[in-house]
Amino acid sequence: MKTTFGVIVTSRGIFPGHLIEGAKKQLFSLLEKHDMDYVILPADATPTGAVQTEADAIKCAELFHQNADKIKGIIVCLPNFGEEAPVFSTIQRAKLDVPVLVQACDDEDDKLGLDDRRDAFCGKLSLCNNLYYAGIKFTDTTLHTCTLDSPEFEADLRRFEKVCSVVHKMRNARIGLIGMRPDGFRTVRVSEKILQRNGITTIVTDLSEILAEAKAMEDEAVIKEYMEKIHNYGSIPDSISEEKIRLQAKLVATVKNWVEKNKCDAFCMQCWESLEHNYGCAACLSMSMMGEEGIPGACESDVMGAVTMLALNEAAGNKSAYMDWNNNFTKNRNVCINQHCGNFPKSFFGVPIEISNLDVLAKGMGSDICFGACKGQVAPGEMTYAKVATDDCRGVMKAYFGDGEFIADKIPSFGALSAWKVPNLQNLLHYLCANGFEHHVATVRGQCADILEEAFGKYLGWEVYHHE
């Protein structure tokens, strides 16, 4: 779905008005290039074609208000000095509470005379002063002023779109919770009340409901469809029977149906031990396959894990994975092993995967009831890691995040594996321990920590720690 922005182009009467149309054309061209939509006053709606007076502001605010259901952010463009009061009046009157990007155009050295000078360099400071004192949060461009067709502004716009996407998704998220947390993991406790206060709704069902529906499934066409999907998803050892694959297919189909029926953006699931003992397979494959389709799934009923994965999906435009902070690795204290049983989306690995039995859990429960783990080592490349949490003692949302990399060092272990290199890793781990963060962490290919900082900290008002 296209991201739609409300666009405010402003102008000050004593500066050249002919700059307005050129700025509009450049901005519209860039938005269309990236398949972004926009809402803006028609050129003939105001005397100048820009927002320049309070009357213009009222018109623009009403237009934005009429399109409130689709506007995810506001772009303010200053082709010249601009008028600060009508801009913040428009934003206040519209009452959209969305991120705001402020852009001001460069002057050209040979066009500083009365007929062509912009003075947006100065005007932007005046506008930002007004936004600050009106309590309107906004995003700045990388350069104080820039041309609308510059690579710097293009990167700013694409980054801003991701910020808007994260903010919108977090304020309207629906997280499915299938089953209670494992008794041994108090670490994944969560406050649904704090989540609700922040716009995130938790939809709950008992695991028994899912298992009963999966056991009762008799639609052979659906079962066959999912069995084929599983066979095509990764390599399966010959020792795994078709009956086990059929059992897994029914579970995947049931979980997906419940998630879609309840319009969940992400979900988490009780994955041990009841599922294995009472149904006969593992939950990892369900989370992996749905994650591959863009619906993040966290294990061990970790609601906040699902929230974090969803945010990473939006910030990076890529599929996220969920794992344990697990082991030290090599003698480099900035390197560690992070892994889980086998719930990563297959494309996240970057290498072919094997679908087989759980390892650690199978050792205690028996391999015959543990089919469904996606195994392999994550290929090297840049990544971002993050974790969002509810701090129930203080009634706040908090998060940490940072950029790192997956490294190629071969890990002599099992399951879904990744080797990480994180700058100043020991300081990060000290921070997690001191501030009560869980042993789980989410990660995504590509680097987007700066987007999370802007979205979480500035616009959502959460407590954040950006590790560098």
- To which residue do tokens 């009831």 refer? 369
Which pLDDT tens digit goes with each residue over 402-415? 999 999 999 999 99
Preceding peptide of 468 cis, ω within 30°: no
Q: How far apart are CA 299 and CA 292, in angstroms?
A: 15
What H or E segment, with its residue span, contains residue 364? helix 360-365
Q: How far apart are CA 434 and CA 359, in angstroms?
A: 31
What H or E segment, with its residue span, contains residue 54? helix 54-66
Q: How far apart are CA 240 and CA 93, in angstroms?
A: 62
Write down the pLDDT at residue 18: 82
| Lowest mean pLDDT segment, chosen from 62-66, 102-106, 364-368 | 364-368
Q: What does the pLDDT average to over 254-273? A: 97
| Distance between start and end Cα atoms, the chain | 33
Whether the predicted pLDDT of 250 surpasses 80? yes
Output the domain CATH number for residue 291: 3.20.14
Q: Do 147 and 136 lie in a common domain?
A: yes
Q: What does the pLDDT average to over 286-293? A: 98
Q: What phi, psi does 447 have (nearest 5°)?
A: -120, 125
Whether the predicted pLDDT of 334 surpasses 90? yes
**Exposure b/e, 93-122, CB count within 10 A at least 16 = b:** bbebebbbbbbbbbbeeeeeeeeebbbbeb
**Tokens representing residue 418 in the block:** 């990744």
Q: Do 191 and 162 lie in a common domain?
A: no
Which residues are bridge partners to 357 per DSSP?
371
Domain total of the chain: 2
Q: Do 144 and 236 lie in a common domain?
A: no
**Tokens representing residue 178 in the block:** 């299938």
Contact 39, 106 (CB under 8 A): no
DSSP-assigned states of every residue in 189-206: ---HHHHHHTTPEEEEE-
What H or E segment, with its residue span, contains residue 50? none
- The pTM assigned to this predicted structure is 0.96
Give, in order, the Cα–Cα distances in Å from 372 to each of 81, 227, 354: 61, 12, 10
Whether the predicted pLDDT of 443 surpasses 80? yes
Preceding peptide of 273 cis, ω within 30°: yes
Q: Do 178 and 167 lie in a common domain?
A: no
Q: What phi, psi does 71 have (nearest 5°)?
A: -75, 120
Q: What does the pLDDT average to over 347-354? A: 94
- Map residue 329 onto helix, strand or coil: coil
Q: Helix 151-171 vs helix 303-316: angle between axes, to the nearest 10 degrees?
A: 160
Q: Do 251 and 275 lie in a common domain?
A: yes
Whether the predicted pLDDT of 16 surpasses 90? no
Q: Do 147 and 237 lie in a common domain?
A: no
Q: Do 259 and 280 lie in a common domain?
A: yes
Q: Which residue has the higher pLDDT, 300 or 184?
A: 300
Given 171, 196, 217, the domain boundary residue is 171
Given 171, 204, 237, the domain boundary residue is 171
Closest CA to 71 of 8, 27, 6: 6
Q: Do 275 and 424 lie in a common domain?
A: yes
Contact 421, 405 (CB under 8 A): yes
Q: What phi, psi does 271 have (nearest 5°)?
A: -110, -5
* Confidence bin at 117 (pLDDT 50/70/90): confident
Q: Which residue has the higher pLDDT, 375 or 110?
A: 375
DSSP-assigned states of every residue in 299-318: ETT-HHHHHHHHHHHHHHTS
Q: How far apart are CA 245 and CA 233, in angstroms?
A: 12
Tally of CB atoms within 10 A around 410: 8
**Tokens representing residue 385 in the block:** 């890691």
Q: Do 191 and 155 lie in a common domain?
A: no
Q: Do 238 and 315 lie in a common domain?
A: yes
Write down the pLDDT at residue 4: 98
Domain that holds residue 210: 174-467
| Lowest mean pLDDT segment, chosen from 66-80, 115-129, 185-199, 234-248 | 115-129
Q: Do 130 and 37 lie in a common domain?
A: yes
Given 112, 142, 171, the domain boundary residue is 171
Q: Do 146 and 181 lie in a common domain?
A: no
Output the domain CATH number for residue 17: 3.40.50.10940
